[in-house]
Amino acid sequence: MSRTSPVGWLVSFAPSSVAVRWPERLRSCLGALIGIGFTGGTMHLMLGSSASIPLLVAPMGASAVLLFAVPASPLAQPWSIIGGNLVSATVGVACATWIADPVDAAALAIALAICAMFTLRCVHPPSGAVALTAVLGGPSIHSLGFGFVFEPILIQSFALLAAAIVFHALTGHRYPHVAGQSVKGNAVSQASNLATNPGFTRADLELVLARRGEMLDIDPADFESVVNEAQLQAYIRGFGELTCGDIMSHPVASIFATTTAATASDLLSRRAVKALPVADAQGRVVGIVTRADLARDACASPLGALLRRPARWFAGNDGSPRLVGALMATDVCTVSSARPIAELVPLFANYGHHHIPVVDVHERLVGMITQADLISGLYRQTQLPQRQAA
């Protein structure tokens, strides 16, 4: 058995570095501020300031940390907070009612709450504090009886959850969290087949997790996605000299925002591509339009077209052909032609991009990269040593 020195043991207590960027940290702080404020304000409006029911219970602060600071955690999902808090409150009130000694009641309440949360798959750490509050909250809490489960726990849990859902939606953060699709489910994953390491399967991952016998605070699908992406990133890092300019498709057809939708659709068909960058007079990318964008407009319901007519009339459009500027996506991800291709992996794997315009040092459009371009570029690079050896 290895022995660790006292100094080494103390050093092991040092916290690990936090990879969360400062904008995300500040966003979490703002979310918690709004969430707790909204929860307390909701209780105040419903019950008034003279109510005997607490406007905020301490466990909601811990729930706010999860919902706003680590919203991707399985412990922070809607069923976790609602189910965990309700079952723990019920267990806590029952133990406080039926067991006279508060220490015994508190210990049993926590144990049963954890057991119930595991059974119902709603583990939420702050819910342990909910059970403890039901037992040790004092006469004002005890007087509520099982009403404590609904007021304040149910109301505050739903209020905090509603605030989190709205806040994350407004700030462009997906919540409730949808487990990330593995890189192997993306076209970019085909590049990993070029690697000599075959990687692992989902069954391998589940077997290892089952063998560990403990709960990890990450969804297995997210874990698989991270590991697969790390493998692919390590593989592509070997092509450090390869840039976006080396693998991009060029020259690339582009259109203006004033191009009609019919013209854009015809160009997409003739070029056999799925997306067209939209550029201004200086060649700078201002948007991108896809086959799906044009198809959505073409398949719009008659009722929707009728409802849009007044808006078009007020905008000075009296039925003239639809323009690309009204259909294109303006939030466009672009990459520099000098950017290493290793940096393309998260763009394709995690953010759902399928077509990325390439720009030069003057931000002018020079090409387009698709998932197929990335795979083709990597394949050509792997074949180069073999050809040189031959």
Pure H helices in the chain:
6-11, 22-47, 59-69, 78-98, 102-120, 126-136, 139-142, 147-148, 155-170, 202-212, 220-237, 244-247, 261-271, 291-298, 302-314, 345-349, 371-389
Q: Give the span between the Cα atoms of 210 and 197, in whole angstroms.
A: 24
- 40 phi/psi in degrees, rounded to 5: -65, -40
In this predicted structure, what is the pLDDT of residue 108?
97
Q: Is the model's pLDDT at 350 over the cut of 80?
A: no
- What share of the chain in percent tops pLDDT 70? 78
Q: What is the pLDDT of residues 298-349, one digit of tens each?
A: 654 454 445 455 545 544 455 567 888 888 888 888 999 888 877 777 777 6
**Residue of 287, 289, 276, 282 whose CA lies nearest to 249:** 276
Q: Which of 264, 195, 269, 281 is nearest to 230 (CA)?
A: 195
Q: What's the pLDDT at 373? A: 83
Q: What is the mean pLDDT of residues 82-108?
A: 96
Taking 70 as the threshold, does the pLDDT of residue 235 lie above it? no
What is the reported pLDDT for 247? Answer: 86
Distance in angstroms (rounded) separating the CA atoms of residues 343 and 384: 22
Residues 61 and 81: their CA atoms lie apart, in Å, by: 12
pLDDT > 60? residue 17: yes
Q: Looking at per-residue confidence, does 19 or 85 come out higher?
A: 85
With vertex at residue 152, the alpha carbon angle to CA 147 and CA 154, rounded to the nearest 5 degrees, is: 85
Tokens, residue 298 = 């073409």
Q: Does residue 186 or residue 238 have the better pLDDT?
A: 238
Q: Name the average pLDDT for the chain.
A: 81
Mean pLDDT confidence for 89-111? 96
Write the CA distances from 336 to 220, 243, 340, 358, 389, integer angstroms. 34, 9, 9, 6, 33
| Residues across the chain | 390
206 to 203, 224, 237, 288: CA distances (angstroms):
5, 10, 28, 40
**Which pLDDT score, from 0 to 100, does residue 253 have?**
87
pTM of the model: 0.63
Q: Assign 291 a pLDDT band (cuts: 50, 70, 90).
A: confident
Higher-scoring residue by pLDDT: 75, 198: 75
Name residues whose C-beta falls within 8 Å of residue 177's C-beta, 6 or more positions apart in sequence.
71, 72, 73, 76, 77, 219
Residue 197 has pLDDT above 80, yes or no: no
In this prediction, residue 93 carries a pLDDT of 97
d(CA 282, CA 300): 33
What pLDDT score was predicted for residue 383?
63
- CB-CB contact of 152 with 53 (8 Å): yes
Residue 367 has pLDDT above 70, yes or no: yes
Burial of 111 (0-12, 13-18, 19+ CB in 10 A): middle
**Gap between the Cα atoms of 353 and 197, Å rounded:** 26
Mention the CATH class of domain 244-389.
alpha beta
CB atoms within 10 A of CB 146: 12
Question: Over the stretch 131-168, which tens digit does the pLDDT of each residue have?
Answer: 999 999 999 899 999 999 998 999 999 999 999 999 99
Is the model's pLDDT at 219 over the cut of 50? yes
Q: Is the pLDDT of residue 184 over 50?
A: no
Domain ranges of the chain: 22-170, 183-237, 244-389
Is pLDDT of 63 > 90? Answer: yes
- Predicted pLDDT at 30: 95
